[in-house]
Amino acid sequence: MSDSATPLPAPEEPHAPGHATKAGTFSLMLGAMGVVFGDIGTSPLYALRQTVLATKAGFDNHIAVMGSLSMIFWALMIVVTLKYVVIIMRADNNGEGGTLALAAMAHRSPRLSRWLKATIGVGAIAGLALFYGDGMLTPAISVLSAVEGMEVETPAFAPFVVPITLAILVGLFMLQSSGTARVGKLFGPVMLLWFAALTYFGFTSLIQNPGILAAVNPIYAFELFRLEPWVAFVSLGSVVLAVTGCEALYADMGHFGKRPIQYAWFLVALPALLLNYFGQGAALLRNPDQAKAAFFSSVPHWAHMPMVILATMAAVIASQAVITGVFSMTQQAVQLGQLPRMEIRHTSATHYGQIYVPRMNLYLAIGVVLIVLIFKNSGALAAAYGIAVTGVMVIDTFNVALVANRQWLWRTSWVVLLFGALGLIDLLFLGANSLKIPEGGWLPLVAAATIFLIMDTWRRGRRVHMEKVRSESLPLNLFLERADKSTQRVSGWGVFLSSRSDVVPGALLHNLRHNKILHERIVLATVVVEDRPIVPARERIEVEKLGKGFYAVKVHCGFFEMPDIPQAMEDARRFGLSVDLETATFFLGRETLMRANTSELSRWRGWLYRNLVGNALDPARFYQLPPGRVVELGTQVFI
């Protein structure tokens, strides 16, 4: 910067306006019911069924049921309750949770080696890719499992299961563009009714065989491993179905708060799930031949069809929660530079988190429909389900162990002992699910690998691209020294967007080269995405007076936020920079990427990166620039 560069004084932080009364804990708990627990709340439809069928390969019905229940009980207590609800939910990144938020928090830990930081970064991308793979499977298996309940009523319904499932799922994806605000109001009460039904039918079945409660004793699980270790190990691949959705407990912490989610888990979700699983187990002890319909075996005949309808509603809610999660994670990935710019629409004027990503909605819909057509029933689909979830669990355990040791200052010996044990459980689940790769587990892995490849290529390409631009750019301080020499200045404001704050934007140089003019007042705007979810209003804008009519504005935003350049210019008025947005012209550089003779990127990566850039959302729309006041100046860049 030139010597004349002086920061403009920041104004005093204005008093926060009066806030509306916060919703009570009960209201937040009710909301969490419909969003947070949709996935794990519908696991009773298939988790015990698949586990018992797997253990029956080596044991009689009584031992298979008791051992399966014991494993599911302790999986819920250790993996979900201890690890996620008690420990990992302590790791809030400014109140937000999720794989990316936890990775960003772990990355800020002190005394990390370059290798550890690189591992965290790669793990974050892998976790996001696995989350997308899981996002295609959850709607398919949830809705399929619910609709299959019609077959329990009569086999004549069997031919209609897949068509009805596809109709429900296609309709759900078509509704995404209109937002979920109205439907969302029903989510909490419906899921509360669902958990009440799980509790009632589970309890009424359990009291007929109260001896099933002995399965709480872990000795039944250990006996499976002692007598038939291979069969027991294979069955872990089905046990993990009972804990799918545990990531949602953490990821949605920013929407509902830690306490409401924890209260809802301990007071409603966990008791309902346990009672229903034990009720199913009691029914299977009475009717061993009902293993393939474990969930509906504990439901009286008169309630079969009402439960099919309620289960389908709960499955739709679980699917909606996953779809919304995919949209949210996509927004974060775009902001953090892991994916190309995409159109992100806000579907509610009052709830910021309600967004719609058209491109991801289309890809997800195609993937879900193909999965239903390929697997056709939830039993076959269960073979593909779980491996993505366990991969994310391993990554989360690694990251939270770093946070506990480096930020919470837990003793290293305790960290190694506790998280080593939790990590071993995760690896056992991952290993057991790896056995299902030939049967269908390859599907989420292929999806995750494809997404990982795209994100890795985008990151590498952006790095090469930015270095290319930097090497061909003029340093800003040198430009400012010559800014007034034989250059005509015209009245008005010119706002130039730049990816770097230390070089002259290419659009400015092209405008000067071709039009031979400079605006009287010029703003060089740079968007800086922080590794935290939300940036407070007082830290959002930096304004620096560079002299000769030039101003540098840094717009800070979190990875949960979308940049809004016109709004940032309005906010800059508090710093004394009054940009007339009605007459200002916004300049963008439009780059056409060409294949270079030699490149740091391989030929296929270069081809992929150029196509990703070509299909990225137009920056004018992404940064919410006024359409009638944007000038784009093109150039060629060889990559």
Residue type, 67: G
Here the tokens at position 537 are: 């209003």
Q: Residues 5-59: pLDDT tens digits?
A: 434 333 333 333 333 334 467 777 877 777 788 889 999 999 999 999 999 888 8
Token pair of 311 as six digits: 């289960």
- pLDDT tens readout for residues 570-589: 999 988 898 888 889 999 88
With a cut of 50, say whether residue 297 has pLDDT above it: yes
What per-residue confidence (pLDDT) applies to 185?
Answer: 63
Structure tokens at 156: 């004549």
Task: State the angle between helix axes of 603-615 and 442-471 in degrees (0 to 180), rounded to the nearest 10.
Answer: 90
Nearest to 631 by CA among 508, 467, 464, 481: 508
DSSP per-residue letters across 531-580: SSS---GGGSEEEEEEETTEEEEEEEE-TTS---HHHHHHHGGGGT----
- The DSSP-derived string for 417-455 is HHHHHHHHHHHHHHHHHHTTIIIIIHHHHHHHHHHHHHH
User: pLDDT tier at 214 (50, 70, 90 boundaries)?
Assistant: very high
pLDDT score, position 14 = 36
Q: What DSSP designation does 301 have? A: G
21 vs 62 pLDDT, higher one: 62
**Alpha helix segments (H runs only) across 218-343:** 219-227, 229-239, 246-251, 253-256, 258-264, 270-286, 294-297, 304-335
- Sorted by where each begins, the domain ranges of the chain are 25-459, 474-638
pLDDT band at 486 (very low <50, low <70, confident <90, very high): low
Phi, psi of 349 (to 5 degrees): -80, -15
Q: Regarding predicted confidence, which is higher, 418 or 326?
A: 418
CB 401 within 8 Å of CB 363: no
Between the alpha carbon of residue 172 and those of residues 90, 191, 327, 375, 457, the distances in Å are 34, 17, 14, 20, 32
Read off the pLDDT of residues 315-332 as tens digits, 9 standing for 90 and up: 888 888 788 888 888 888
**What CATH number is given for 25-459 in this structure?**
1.20.1740.10
Decide if 319 contacts 139 (C-beta within 8 A).
yes
